[in-house]
Each structure stands twice: as C-alpha cells, then as structure tokens.
Structure 1
Amino acid sequence: MTNIIYLASAIGAIKTYHLHDVDNDTKSPLYPGPGVIASITGASLSKAKDAIRQVRYGSRWLDFPRTPAIKRTSDGEIEGALRLLGYVGYWRHLPGRQTLAAYLSSRTGVERDHPCVVVLSTHHAAVSGGVFCDVVSDGIVIDIDEAEGRRKKVSRVLVLTKRIAPSTIASREPASKAKKADATSKRDQLFREAVKAETGATRIKVTPNEVFVILPDQSGWYWLGSRDSLEEQILEPERDGRLRGNTAEAAAYRASMGY
C-alpha cells in the first residue's frame, strides 16, 4: 500500500540542548545517517529512512519492486533529509581535524546549544548542548562526557539553525495486521459462498486443509475435497472439474484473489 505522509505544518523554533532517543520502528539495525536524523527531529526511524530515499531516488522509489535499503548515507543526503523534515542550517569545516573531545570543548556560538550533525572519521553523530547520540550509544541520548570514541577525528559539522515548513514524504507502509486479517476473512467468506453456490450445499465446513458440505439430499457431512484443490478449480475452472466456476459467487472469489 502506498501512502503519502503529511507532516505537521506548524513550524516551531529549533529546540536547543535536546535530542531524542531513536524510535526504531523497523526490523533492521540502526545505521548512523538515519539514526542521526531521527535523534535530531524526533521522527521515527522508518520516516527518517523514507526521507533519505526521497532525497536519493525521488518519489519514483515507490515504483521499485522492493523498498531500497538505507545503510550508508552521504553528508548531502543527511542534509537533504533534514530539510525535508523541516531542519536547515550550514556546514562548517574544521581545520586540523580536531578530536571529538577537543571539538566538544571548543564549541562557540550556536554550536554550543543547537543540534548538530558531527562527521567523525567513522560515522555521523548527533550533538546538542551537553547531549550526544550515535550508533555506539544504540540510539540512546547520553551525556557528552559519556560518549565513546572521543579521540575520533571531526572533519565537518552541520549546524542546524532554523525550522522551515516540512515537505511531504512518500512512504510505502505495510498493511496493518488488522487490515490483513480483515482481508483474509473476507476472502474466506467469498470462498465459502462460492463453494455453496457451485455445489448447492446447504451447509459448509472449511478446515485449513479440507472442505465438507451437507447437500440438500443428505443429512450428514460429505467430504468434498482438499481446500487447495477446490480453490484451484474455482480460480482456474475446467470443464471436467467438480466445480465449474461459472457462478457469480465464484467470479467474486476470483476477483478478490486477483484473477
């Protein structure tokens, strides 16, 4: 199912001295780029990944047979995804490649309290005031003094200074379990109605593997056949089959199954 997620239109100020624990609502491990975006914006990890996909592929990725995986991300993709989510700022390149510890202690101006994407020698991290979040912390916000890898080199920093109106982000959301169960229930009901119409049965009992019916001239249950075989006869009817598949109920079942 393809949806367009409309983000909140209200534009608030940049929240200083603050990051979010990453909400990993996916089944995949946490990677630096999506994790940084989720921690700064508060968006779920799946939404952060969709924002990166939109920057990388445009909305055409919805036409791909599979959702593209998001693992490695470039500086530009992170900046573009943050812009889609309503966060903009500027890049500052650090001369001499300071260590993370040196950078954190030497910050001045807006870098001291605004959220920043810090490009380390191994990965991206999020910093805002005295808090820190990256893949090493498993997406949990920690104190900057507890951050590991403080000797890693910092090459550049994206300083986020302003909120803008967020953009719409294309998303391919899986159907909920409730919707899947409802669709399955409807198809099962159509199958039962098709079998009754094809056989003239007064009652029908369907198990996971077999189908039983009571016919008008019988008083007990009669084994009609395996469920797989009967489904095949309705979906792909043949002249010599037990079920001809020529009733309106059979046609409705075929339509529900995409035939």
Structure 2
Amino acid sequence: MKKIILILVVLFQYSLYAQVVIGNDLASNKNILKIKDGTKGVILPYSDIYTSFPKYSASSTDLFSDYPNLVGSVIYNKADDQYYKYDGYAWNPARQIQGIFQPKGSRLGISSGITIPCLAFGLGICLPLGSPVYLAPDDKSEILVDNLGLKNSNSVTIKQNGIYDVAAALGFTGGSVGAQIGVTEFKLTLQVKYTPASAWETIVTKSNYSIIFIIDTQGNKTSSFSQTVSLPAGAELRVVPTITTIGGSGGSLAAYGTDTNSINSYVAARLIKAY
C-alpha cells in the first residue's frame, strides 16, 4: 500500500509540472503552456472600455488601484484597439511612449507653473512670465518617473546621444472677462538648446482653440503633441506656452495660468536608439 501511495504522489507531482501542449504533441521543457496552430488564434481577455478593467477606480489619479498580484496581466481594449498591461499600479497601453517601468523612458511633471496675463482690444497681447519647470518629484501613483535621469537641478537635460520620442502636454487654467467675441489660441512649443552656448531652437508647435463670447468660461484647455527627434547628450528641453486672442469687437482682460496636475501637464521622453 505504501508503494502505491508513493507512486501516486510522484505521478501527481509530475502532472503539476508537466507542460500543457495545444495544437501538436511536441512538448518542450522550456514552457509551461505551448499553443501551436497555424489556422486558429487565441482570444485573450478583452473589454469594451477601460472603465471595466480590473481595479478601475475613478477616484485614483491614474484611474486604477495598486495591486501587485495582478502584475503582468494583459487585457485588450476594443475601444481603442490595443492591448494594456498591468504594472502593479495601472493599466498601460501598448502604444505609449512612456511608462512607469519603461527603463528607457521618463515622464516628468510640473514643479512650478507660470501665469499669463492678457489684455485684448481686437488682437490680444499675452505675456507669459517664463516657462513651466518640469522637475516635479517622481511619484508612481502620479505616473511620474525619471528612468532616463533627465532632471538636473534646474533643467531637463538629455544624458545620452540618441533618437528620442518626445511628448509634451500642458493644461491652461483661467479665462477672460470682457465685451469681446472671438477666438483664443493656446499654443505649445517644444524648444531645444543643443549646447550650453547655443540659442533655443523650436522643434514643434501645437495649438488648441477656445471661442470667446463675452466671458470665456469653458474650463481648462490642454495642448499636447509628440515628436521624434535626434538629440545629443547635454541638450536641454523646455516647453513654452503662448496665448493669443483674436476678437471681433470690444476688449477683454484675461488671466491664465498653467495646470500643475500631472495628468494634464507633463514632458515624456523615450530613447528609441542610442548612437
């Protein structure tokens, strides 16, 4: 009886570690699960919209609760036709250029914003007081991490020669009051200083527009863009906001500012290829 029990235990343990093969009978000790079929696919978990993903939480800044036991899980989102991977903090889309655990990527938030006063009589004059500083502390719950080490004491500086995907977003707050009908342009410009002695050069600009009718109270505006660019080590990056109002009549006073919420305002960079 003892011999029979011993044999059953050995067989049971073997079955726990045996490979599951679907599609053919060629097993391999390199895999736990092997699926091979040239005519059929595998349907992984999917959802119609991200709000039904596991651990979704509308009250969380990154929209998902932290849950280490779900790390590595994959789900397909039918709404935007891409897969998402859970990293322990949030679900990250496959087609993104930044992520918490992306070893060659950084996502930086605003540590200090600026104000942008405007005076408009037909054509508005706005005077940005400097440019926002993207040196906020790393915070995974805010989706902020500096894996590329871009943050210096007072600048964002490239540390390695290479080709980069760079994305920037900036939220604008505030509005205008006055007897004016027209349009306000919120423009975002990415600039690079290639060497400490060189001037700032514009790489790309992006504009968003708001309609003014007596009082501009449509809520926050956000401009964003992404660009692939070749950058040398030592190059500095900055984002310059510009606001222009074009009115049909009357005049207005405006006071705008930059949103420091990391969901609306950030600079992200991913190293595609070093050289």
TM-score normalised by the shorter chain: which range applies?
under 0.3
More strand by share: 2
Normalised TM-score (structure 2)? 0.18
Normalised TM-score (structure 1)? 0.19
Larger Rg: 1
